[in-house]
Structure 1
Amino acid sequence: RVERSFTLKQGMPFRQADWEAAKLAVLRPLLAGAYPAAQIEASEARIDPAAQAADLTLTLDSGPAFFYGQPAISGSRRYPESIVRNLNPVSPGKPVRQQDLLDYQTALESSGYYAQAAVRIEPDPALAAAVPLQVEVVERPEISTDTGARVQASWLDRDILDRGMRLKLDARLETARQTGAAELAWPRTVKGYEHGLGVQLKQEDIKGQETRSTVFAAKRSRTRGQIESTLSLQYQTEQQSIADVLDVRNQALTANYAWTQRTVGRAFYPRRGHVLTLQGGGNGRLVLRGEFGSVLAESRDGIPTDFLFRAGGDNSVRGYAYQSLGRTLTGGVASVRYLATGSAEYNYFFNRDWGMALFVDAGDAADSPGALSPVFGYGVGARYRSPVGPVNLDLAYGEATAKFRLHFSLGVSF
């Protein structure tokens, strides 16, 4: 494997820069794997001007294979050290990999407890049999608040009862939706489970459909490598009205299980993997997205709108207003039992940060599969790779409405 990574082949012209790059290319897989103490022991390029040839000699010293020991944690003051230990994705005795250290660091920084984290090992051959993981963390404040652009306020206490339990209160005011929520979450256990309890109050008026709902939920989730699973129990009660046409009370007690596998590489700008994404070489990328939803019930009566569907908007069918596709009634658009949408988009980046997009979206929402009648939207867009993730600005034409709409979104839809 190491020999295959050597980039200089017989018959290629010799250049000093290529020789240096080839040596690093051979060393890199050893350093990224179980041999972090690997080094170049000797290298020689013997030039024969008469024969117009260069004889290359390269000797590597891999050093011993390294295996994980226990974490050595510094910087943990307010929150229990068990939080750091339980986020560790590796076990003692496993061979060292650079990617494991990056995954551990990412898990710490995304946990909500730490503003910064650094995970490393000391490549000392004497420690190879059980090298400690050096974990340094900078804790976030125990209590914090923030205000977003949508008039959003949050309050978070990360150390309830001195056990690292998190209590978060959220309030958001938008033109068409107002929500308030409280969530109590426990730190991840040694087996990787996270538990939470929550309550949410929501009021919204979208395309003439007014709803007021209360939701109580308990959930248990686990992330292991590429697999995310969540088991939850939820009770919801809702009052739904559309002008003088509809005024009903819906309620539901549901048990939900979600299982997701993600293989997308880097979180901000995936370059390979699968979540309905196909990608070619160079600066181009083809993104295919599809969504199908169904409520297996004889009618929609009594079913809260959170379990029903409407289509249209930035991450649905562009060219149409948000949730404007559904059952059209006098005074509004009602949610229905079936949803089908799809999108094909081609991205091309002119340089590292800026690109353009061409796309076609299609979809509809209806009360039966036979009533689905897809409408089309197509257009062009601009793409910017910002420090916080992709920024997307699209101009779409809705074929059914014969109108243009501007759409703005952040991130990659999976």
Structure 2
Amino acid sequence: MHFLRTITCFLFLVLCLLAPPAVLAEVALEVKISDVAPELSANILARLRIYQQRLNPKLSVGEMRRLHRKAGADIKSALEPLGYYSSRIESALVKTEGGGWHASYIITPGEPVRVHSVVVQVEGPGSGLSLFADLATQFPLQKGAVLHHQHYEEGKKNILSWARRNGFVEARLVKSEIRVRRASHRAEIDLLLDTGHRFLFGKTTFTEGIINQGLLARYLPYKEGEPYSVHALTRLQSILYDTGFFSGVSVEPEFDKMQEQRVPVALELVPALRNRYSFGLGYGTDTGARGKIEWKNRLFNDSGHKVHSSLQLSQKLSKFDAAYQIPINDPRYDALKYAGSWASEEWDDTKTDLLSVASAVSHAGPRYQYGVTFEVRDENYDIGSTSGSSLLLLPKGGWSMVLADNRMNVENGWRFSVEVTGAEKALLSDATFLQAQSGVKGIWSPFDQWRLLGRFTLGATFVDSIDDLPPSLRFYAGGDQSVRGYAYKSIGTKDASGTVIGGRYLTVGSIEMERKINDLWSGAIFYDTGQATDTLDVKLKNSVGFGGRITLPFGQIRMDIGFPLQHEDHFYYLHLNVGADL
């Protein structure tokens, strides 16, 4: 009999081992916790092992009971890093009528532990420096704050980052303690920073034959003798890549050559291809079909000079541009430029040929752009049955500011711009005038996947007669950057024959709502209004429309169909353009 029982037990164990996992361990388990603050709930569920394993097909009843017994410790370990050290948990694990299981946990977090004091002491060679004087007051946890461990860790990280950014590369916290008084719900934070020796930047050496020493020195975000910082070296590498001069940049601190705590820096630079050629075919509503050839010399000499030229041939606008650029002051943003151009443009009954030479000093920073230009323009033109020519010496000043999270594809941002130019007959010019134009464009994302875009432009010219100005200096409206229900430069003052001759004053406004369909495509609807007049009596032309957008790393490809709200020969106009948002 005993033998039969032994054989039966053995066969049962074998069957259990051979049985499919779902037969052995399929447990229907529901886990619920009582309502607590969202931050607490998220941390509890992330640490509660019975919750994490509730859908595991291999979960057995025995394992489930073991995890339930450990749930209290799991919950406490989730609450303590958030400052709750006196929590109470009521737990239950019951079998339901349907054969499943229900685990419930009623949690009372209790009173949180609050910071009573923060002490940050400093020892080592940097202990007497003022840059460490406010470490305690700048710590993210102050007296009365709930003891949040993540904020404590961030505070420690900030202290070390601050020390290392100021040259104390070997800085370390030799003491970091939190003393929790559970009975009084108080905590004391005690930190001790050992600064170690302060390192300074030594001499910077680099691969010769690409750019000269003087130019390189102007790119360095540090000076010899300033506090050493890894952050500054990372920034230097980024700056040098952005110049376009190099295809490879290696920045290495040479600690083995350090003398008197000064760290030499060695740069290994690999030159980029100097000449870049591009060819393209395209279509724009304002230009028609076009072809373009472009040449850039990114490093004409070791002083960082650049050369650029391009030729565009199109149905409506053909032009040639050439420019020579010299870096000045801060070479990342400041430049002296000499340029020449020729342009031949036709629209409706207007044709103009323009020759221009100019010199400009400009600043093109990430937020502000401004500059001064002196330009000589020689323009010959036909407007309807009228022909003319104009020679002008134009001083010009411009300023713009961009506030945006990403200039290419903006979620929220603004752009403001102002430009002023003029000429005087007594100074080698055929006309006397003063012209100013200002604009603002804003982008706002009120909801996820939605953008609201608005733009507004005002322009005014003080001149005796519009006939004194060539077409390139008159104001027109209409086109893909203006009022989209009308053709390019079709809105403006008309002469007796009905030819649009432009105006002295400009008003253009637009509002647009865009909805993202996916990461690539968006749809938009818009309302545009504008006019170019020779008097201040403005009767605006209005249009509505819709369009599609393709979002790419360099901006958007936009196709719009605009419908004029006033009578026009065309029922609609199709516009296509490419560019950044701001």
Superposition TM-score tier, normalisation by shorter sequence? 0.7 to 0.9
How many residue pairs are counted as aligned between the two chains?
401
Q: Which residue of the partner structure matches residue 391 of structure 1? A: 557
Q: Please, which moves more after superposition, 211-220 or 29-38?
A: 29-38
Q: Which SS does the other structure have where 2:211 is aligned? A: coil
Say if 1:91 and 1:193 are closer, same or farther in 2 by CA, change over 3 A. farther
Q: Please, which moves more after superposition, 216-225 or 333-342?
A: 216-225
Task: Give the Å deviation of 1:101.
Answer: 7.5
Task: Give the Å deviation of 1:233.
Answer: 0.6
1:318 aligns with 2:484: yes
Task: Give the Å deviation of 1:182.
Answer: 1.9
Does the 8 A contact of 1:364 with 1:374 survive in 2? yes
Q: Which residue of the partner structure matches residue 183 of structure 1? A: 323
Say if 1:34 and 1:163 are closer, same or farther in 2 by CA, change over 3 A. closer
Say if 1:2 and 1:204 are closer, same or farther in 2 by CA, change over 3 A. same
Q: Please, which moves more after superposition, 292-301 or 113-122?
A: 113-122
Task: For 2:238 and 2:573, locate their aligned partners in 1 and report how far apart those are by CA, in whole Å.
Answer: 37
1:327 aligns with 2:493: yes
Deviations along 1:376-411, one digit per CA (max 9) or x if unpaired, are 122223333312223323232222236223322223
Q: Which residue of the partner structure matches residue 444 of structure 2? A: 279
Task: Give the Å deviation of 1:363.
Answer: 0.7
After superposition, the CA RMSD in angstroms is 4.6
Task: For 2:523 and 2:202, locate their aligned partners in 1 and report how far apart those are by CA, in whole Å.
Answer: 47
Aligned counterparts, 1:84-233, within 5 A: 84-88=216-220, 108-114=240-246, 138-150=270-282, 151-160=291-300, 162-190=302-330, 193-223=334-364, 226-233=367-374
Does the 8 A contact of 2:507 with 2:530 survive in 1? yes
Deviations along 1:83-117, one digit per CA (max 9) or x if unpaired, are 44434566678889999878766654554534566
Aligned counterparts, 1:365-404, within 5 A: 365-370=532-537, 372-400=538-566, 401=568, 403-404=571-572
Say if 1:41 and 1:87 are closer, same or farther in 2 by CA, change over 3 A. same
Task: For 1:95 and 1:106, locate their aligned partners in 2 and report how far apart those are by CA, in whole Å.
Answer: 19
TM-score (ref. length: structure 2): 0.56
Q: Please, which moves more after superposition, 296-305 or 285-294?
A: 296-305
Q: Which residue of the partner structure matches residue 403 of structure 2? A: 263
Task: For 1:258 and 1:367, locate their aligned partners in 2 and report how far apart those are by CA, in whole Å.
Answer: 24
| Paired residue type of 1:279 | W
Q: Which SS does the other structure have where 1:320 is aligned? A: coil
Say if 1:387 and 1:71 are closer, same or farther in 2 by CA, change over 3 A. farther
Task: For 1:193 and 1:41, locate their aligned partners in 2 and report how far apart those are by CA, in whole Å.
Answer: 46
Does the 8 A contact of 1:75 with 1:139 survive in 2? no
Q: Which runs of 5+ in 1 are unaligned?
A: 13-18, 45-54
Q: Which SS does the other structure have where 2:404 is aligned? A: coil
* 1:357 aligned to which of 495, 518, 524: 524
Task: For 1:296 and 1:156, locate their aligned partners in 2 and report how far apart those are by CA, in whole Å.
Answer: 39
Task: For 2:303 and 2:250, locate their aligned partners in 1 and report how far apart those are by CA, in whole Å.
Answer: 23
Say if 1:145 and 1:350 are closer, same or farther in 2 by CA, change over 3 A. closer
Aligned counterparts, 1:12-27, within 5 A: 27=157
Task: Give the Å deviation of 1:211.
Answer: 0.2
Choose between structure 1 and 2: higher helix proportion.
Answer: 2
Q: Which SS does the other structure have where 2:467 is aligned? A: coil
Task: Give the Å deviation of 1:135.
Answer: 6.2
Q: Which residue of the partner structure matches residue 296 of structure 1? A: 462
Q: Which SS does the other structure have where 2:485 is aligned? A: coil
Task: For 2:551 and 2:210, locate their aligned partners in 1 and report how far apart those are by CA, in whole Å.
Answer: 36
Q: Which residue of the partner structure matches residue 236 of structure 1? A: 377
Task: Give the Å deviation of 1:145.
Answer: 2.0
Percent identity reads 21
Q: Which residue of the partner structure matches residue 49 of structure 1? A: none
Q: Please, which moves more after superposition, 93-102 or 312-321?
A: 93-102
Does the 8 A contact of 1:34 with 1:67 survive in 2? no
Task: For 1:348 and 1:377, locate their aligned partners in 2 and report how far apart those are by CA, in whole Å.
Answer: 20
Task: For 1:170 and 1:116, locate their aligned partners in 2 and report how far apart those are by CA, in whole Å.
Answer: 27
Say if 1:313 and 1:117 are closer, same or farther in 2 by CA, change over 3 A. farther
Task: Give the Å deviation of 1:171.
Answer: 1.2
Choose between structure 1 and 2: higher strand proportion.
Answer: 1
Q: Which has the higher contact order (CA 8 A, sep 6+)?
A: 1
Q: Please, which moves more after superposition, 198-207 or 79-88?
A: 79-88
